[in-house]
Structure 1
Amino acid sequence: MVSTIGQLVAWIWLYKYIQKEGSERNLRSLSSLVSSKTGAREAEIAAILSVFFLAIYAAAQLTAGGVALNSMLDWPETTGILIGFVLVVAYCYAGGIRASIWTDAAQSSVMIVGSTILCVVAMGEVGGLSGLHNELASIDSSMVNIYPSGLKFGATLWIAAFFLGGLGVAGQPQVVSRVMTLKDDSDRKQAMVWFFVWQTPFIALMFIIGLACRAIFDGTLSASEAESGLPMLAQSLNPILGGVILASIFAATMSTADSQVLACTAAITDDIKPEWKQDHGRTKQVTLVVAALATGISLVGQQFPGFGDSVFALVVFAVYGLGGIFVPLILIRMAGYEPDSQHTISMMVAALLGVFIWTLMGFGEYVFPSVPGMGAAFAVHFSLCWFRDDSSPNPLGRYSLPTKQFAAIGAVAMVALVGGVEYSYYAIAPDASDASDKTGTYSVVGEYSFYEIAQGSEYIEDGGSVTINASSDDAMSSLDGMNIVGVLVTITHEDTETINGPLCAVAEPPQDDTVEATISHADLSAGEADTNSFDFQLNWHNSSLLNTNVSNMTKADIESMLDGGGIGFGTHDLVIGVTVQNGGGLGCNSNDDGQDVSYTIELVSLDYSVNPV
């Protein structure tokens, strides 16, 4: 819903500017739109970034086609990707942008029919909307709540990311190129009506289908296989209807991919190599190379599970990368601000880094990269306006900066809005622990780290013992936040017994002494004894769960068995004793009164993750 509002704002406001500029300046590409003149340095860089992200976006569509064929026909995903490549090239060669627009219109009909059939089937499987609600609530209560659980950065940024994501559609070259083909503003308004008439029911249908797949395939599909849910659901249909669904999936992916390839071609021939613009043979070669690049990205991505082979991950990265780069530039130009090349390039680079770093750090799980992407671009814009001599000092272009009184009122309103949103999240969002109460199969992965808190050497006489007191405060690095689950003791010793006398050749040789060690902490203890060097560990966690799949348990139960609970902090007492074993005999004297024993005490930290399979 919030994303749709963002798209509505884009159609009413941004697209009006884009259509007008495209018509007046005879533009074909988004990269030309964000520069003052054709061939400018910023236009070239914008075109390169467009090609980079659009190639990834197109690769995601080819990957989706491969997933569909793999799930429904058991064909290798690479086969589906290569078939998609052939279809995309055929689409592009058949008639260019206008043919792409007309085929999109035809394919959208297939998509609506296919999604309607699949939605009816899905509702039958789960028992209607009420049955779907009950199924989802039993799996995870957060799926029937307006808010998800565990938002690290709060609800405000989470909501803002969806709005900016919708607004960011105006930063997608394959969409903007269509807006630029409109003759006048009345065409834009008519196109907007048709857009929402088709998109709104389609999104609603796919949303319901997605939730139904989550309920139907719970425990069957792992998180990494979630994108196979829709084609797997289609397998329950008869061959004819299943074929319609497969056709609708391919229609959705190919209609998007060919538009992206054509947008890449326009960016290259308009802004990187404008001398190729009227050379139709060279233009077709560029189209083929771009399609091959997207195919290569899709094929290589299969070797990087979790990102490169994930349609969702690729789309999110590409969509928000494009939105972060282009939408801030469009907005400031709409306001009448004319940035020079350095200003424009700096904003684009900042947005690129914002999206890339945010994605690399894994924060996209909580807030989509639209926020850091656009936020970084605007931060650079305002900074350059205020501190760079060559940039106009008014960041709002033809609009005056707000007065202090107006700014204060705006700040108060913003604080009130954010406070209200965060309070509502605090009040009604599900507890993150709710999702931990579901019995199922979980993949448990863990890794140990060791932190020395004591080491040394002691000479211990026969029958004697020494006590070493070690504290977690003596660790050479901070243990704050560590999950301490055990203590490791390492004992090394070497027998130094000597024998002498006339009959030593036939007497017992030197015997290894026995060293016994016991470590105690709180009410726990463990020990071991051996004549050789040894180590042993005192644990207060279930190490057998690590690096396995655990079934018939809840996530909370597993975590309780792997969480140290703060037990490892404090004093650890190590007691070491020695029992001498003498060799020699009659006519052969033994010289062995004790033993040198070296010890090391290390706390054991466990870093683990528990994920549903």
Structure 2
Amino acid sequence: MIISFVAFLLMFTVIGLLSARKSRGTKHDYYLASSSVSPWLVGLSAVATNNSGYMFIGVIGYTYMVGLSAIWLMLGWITGDFLASQFVHHRLREQAPKTAEVSYVGILSSWYGDRHHGQQRTMGIISLIFLLAYASAQLVAGSKALQVLFEWPSWAGATLSATLVTLYCFAGGIRASIWTDAAQSSVMIVAMGLLMLAAISSLGGLQSVYQEMSQLQGFLDWYPSDLAFPGVAGGILFAVSWMFAGLSVIGQPHIMVRFMTLKDSRQMNRARCWYYLWYLAFYAMATGVGMLSRIYLSDTASFDAELALPTMALELFPPLLVGLILAGIFAATMSTADSLVLSCSATLTHDLLPQRIEKTWLMKVVTVLVTLGALIWALGNSQSVFSLVVMAWSGLASAFAPLLLFLCLGKRPTPSLSLIAIAGGLGCAMLWRWLGWHQAVYEGMAGILAGLLILTLGLQLGYRTQLPESAPR
């Protein structure tokens, strides 16, 4: 088990280190790979970044608890993601070279040519806080897997993951992250597929699986029992709210930056094909494994549901394949953690500091410091991976998605209106969560709708920026 696990980790690390040979030593190369990445690499990298430790640990744990109704997370999430990609991704990719910015926040705040420093710094602070929270959740996910399989203390897995992420991010920046993401995508989907097939086979086939699940009260219900409204209306609202969770992808700097590295915006459809084919297959298998784990691990009172996958792997597989599963979990956490760390680094060096950092070696130092910050947060974290990821995901989306949608529509909100919409959307989402309503309806839906409403009303009242002479029209 240790041999197979270490072998995969070494493979990922070597791939990341080899990417340094392609480095051009510029900030644009470190953060955007000189916009030279092939569509298949962009697609696999984006899906690996999206399908993080949240999928291996969080989604499987959630499905273990609620059963079939978790399918609406998958259907809603992928549908919303797909609809957003039809409209936003290629426009963001085209805008990146026009603004000459290397960060997601920088592009949004300089969309029409002028840099709005106050807006950029405010967005940078919000981005940094939630991205760090998100990164810490990935390190926690890795530590949970090692805790089950090797009985290591909780800090050991997080520290190992942070060390490996630092190594290849330090070596090759986002190119290293993308190269390793492609390898990690393959390991992740093979690991999940093997586990699902082994579980079904050991239970005697699909018919036996269905019969055992039918005996669990409410496990095969189409909708959860704690809906905001009873009946079909509540079910539709639940599904639509998770569609907003998918649409929230456009507010995630660490994922959207992948599409900004694409060699040519005309290749966006090819990148999206790779992304969605992999995404559908992986998410469907993760949901299936989550449901199967409930049959194997039925003591819900004393069991941490987020440990379902590694625990089931121990029961089903010989040590060599358990090492593969563990490598898959670690691949998922690292593929997202490295992306988050680099996005935080870009925010610090180009959005927050009074003087931009242009030297690559200083950017690498900042990357190391960001990783250390995420590790410290992870070691002190007490929330579940699922809860922390959804909070970070909805916070970023509520703050940034409404503004990006309006910019892609050609609207020109003033910096003050943009900031009000950012604060309003984020505040609404966090209030929604604090009140506990997120148990029934995803808080990002409320936050995004609030931001869109504020921007619509503000533009109607005339809070519209006049374009400078040199701005793209």
* Alignment TM-score, normalising by the size of structure 2: 0.77
Q: C-alpha separation between the residues in 2 aligned to 1:4 and 1:279?
A: 39
Quick check: 1:84–1:254 contact (8 Å CA) kept in 2? yes
Quick check: 2:148–2:311 contact (8 Å CA) kept in 1? yes
Q: C-alpha separation between the residues in 2 aligned to 1:246 and 1:270?
A: 36
Quick check: 1:268–1:274 contact (8 Å CA) kept in 2? no
Matched with 1:123 is 200
Match among 96, 100, 114 for residue 22 of structure 1: 96
Quick check: 2:76–2:245 contact (8 Å CA) kept in 1? no
Distance 1:125 1:354, change over 3 A: farther
Matched with 1:147 is 223
Matched with 1:403 is none
Q: Secondary structure at the match of 1:235?
A: helix
Distance 1:161 1:222, change over 3 A: farther
Quick check: 1:40–1:341 contact (8 Å CA) kept in 2? no
Match among 158, 172, 194 for residue 238 of structure 2: 158
Aligned CA-pair RMSD: 1.9
Q: C-alpha separation between the residues in 2 aligned to 1:140 and 1:369?
A: 28
Quick check: 2:413–2:463 contact (8 Å CA) kept in 1? no
Matched with 2:160 is 83
Match among 352, 360, 385 for residue 434 of structure 2: 360
Deviation at residue 222 of structure 1 after TM alignment: 4.0
Deviation at residue 384 of structure 1 after TM alignment: 2.5
Q: C-alpha separation between the residues in 2 aligned to 1:386 and 1:10?
A: 24
Q: Which digits, 9 at most, give the CA deviation of each residue in 1:481-536, with x for residues without a partner?
A: xxxxxxxxxxxxxxxxxxxxxxxxxxxxxxxxxxxxxxxxxxxxxxxxxxxxxxxx
Q: Does 1:135 align with 2:215?
A: no
Deviation at residue 220 of structure 1 after TM alignment: 5.1
Distance 1:204 1:95, change over 3 A: same
Q: C-alpha separation between the residues in 2 aligned to 1:131 and 1:324?
A: 43
Equivalent residue runs for 1:2-401 within 5 Å: 2-36=76-110, 37-38=114-115, 40-141=117-218, 143-153=219-229, 154-219=234-299, 222=302, 225-236=304-315, 237-273=317-353, 275-301=355-381, 304=382, 308=383, 310-387=384-461, 390-391=463-464
The aligned amino acid for 2:306 is: E
More strand by share: 1
Equivalent residue runs for 1:441-520 within 5 Å: none
The aligned amino acid for 1:258 is: D
Quick check: 1:16–1:188 contact (8 Å CA) kept in 2? yes
Q: Secondary structure at the match of 1:139?
A: coil
Deviation at residue 21 of structure 1 after TM alignment: 0.9
The aligned amino acid for 1:145 is: D
Q: C-alpha separation between the residues in 2 aligned to 1:121 and 1:48?
A: 45
Q: C-alpha separation between the residues in 2 aligned to 1:109 and 1:68?
A: 19
Deviation at residue 130 of structure 1 after TM alignment: 2.7
Deviation at residue 158 of structure 1 after TM alignment: 1.4
Q: Which digits, 9 at most, give the CA deviation of each residue in 1:155-193, with x for residues without a partner?
A: 333122111111111111111111111132332111111
Distance 1:126 1:38, change over 3 A: farther
Q: C-alpha separation between the residues in 1 aligned to 2:323 and 2:263?
A: 38
Q: C-alpha separation between the residues in 1 aligned to 2:240 and 2:302?
A: 29
Q: C-alpha separation between the residues in 2 aligned to 1:127 and 1:60?
A: 36
In structure 2, list runs of 5 or more residues that go unmatched: 1-74, 467-473
Deviation at residue 61 of structure 1 after TM alignment: 0.5
Quick check: 1:70–1:76 contact (8 Å CA) kept in 2? yes
Q: C-alpha separation between the residues in 2 aligned to 1:83 and 1:313?
A: 23
Deviation at residue 276 of structure 1 after TM alignment: 3.7
Q: C-alpha separation between the residues in 2 aligned to 1:127 and 1:248?
A: 26
Q: Which digits, 9 at most, give the CA deviation of each residue in 1:528-548, with x for residues without a partner?
A: xxxxxxxxxxxxxxxxxxxxx
Q: C-alpha separation between the residues in 1 aligned to 2:460 and 2:334?
A: 46
Quick check: 2:76–2:241 contact (8 Å CA) kept in 1? no
Quick check: 1:81–1:295 contact (8 Å CA) kept in 2? yes
The aligned amino acid for 2:124 is: A
Deviation at residue 386 of structure 1 after TM alignment: 4.1
* Alignment TM-score, normalising by the size of structure 1: 0.60
Quick check: 1:30–1:173 contact (8 Å CA) kept in 2? yes
Deviation at residue 67 of structure 1 after TM alignment: 0.4
Q: C-alpha separation between the residues in 1 aligned to 2:369 and 2:246?
A: 30
Quick check: 1:68–1:228 contact (8 Å CA) kept in 2? yes
Matched with 2:33 is none
More helix by share: 2
Quick check: 1:328–1:374 contact (8 Å CA) kept in 2? yes
Q: Secondary structure at the match of 2:109?
A: coil
Distance 1:392 1:151, change over 3 A: farther
Q: C-alpha separation between the residues in 1 aligned to 2:186 and 2:354?
A: 36
Q: C-alpha separation between the residues in 1 aligned to 2:208 and 2:298?
A: 14
Q: Which digits, 9 at most, give the CA deviation of each residue in 1:379-402, with x for residues without a partner?
A: 322332345x54479xxxxxxxxx
Q: C-alpha separation between the residues in 2 aligned to 1:147 and 1:242?
A: 33
Moved more, 314-323 or 370-379: 370-379
In structure 1, list runs of 5 or more residues that go unmatched: 394-613
Q: C-alpha separation between the residues in 2 aligned to 1:341 and 1:392?
A: 8
Q: C-alpha separation between the residues in 2 aligned to 1:270 and 1:114?
A: 38
Distance 1:260 1:212, change over 3 A: same
The aligned amino acid for 1:107 is: Q
The aligned amino acid for 2:437 is: F
Quick check: 2:398–2:425 contact (8 Å CA) kept in 1? yes
Larger relative CO (CA 8 A, sep 6+): 1 or 2?
2
Number of aligned pairs?
384
Q: Secondary structure at the match of 1:200?
A: helix
The aligned amino acid for 2:391 is: F
Q: C-alpha separation between the residues in 2 aligned to 1:382 and 1:71?
A: 50
The aligned amino acid for 2:322 is: G
The aligned amino acid for 1:338 is: R
Q: Which digits, 9 at most, give the CA deviation of each residue in 1:324-383, with x for residues without a partner?
A: 111111111111111111111111111221221111122111111111110221232233
Distance 1:178 1:352, change over 3 A: same
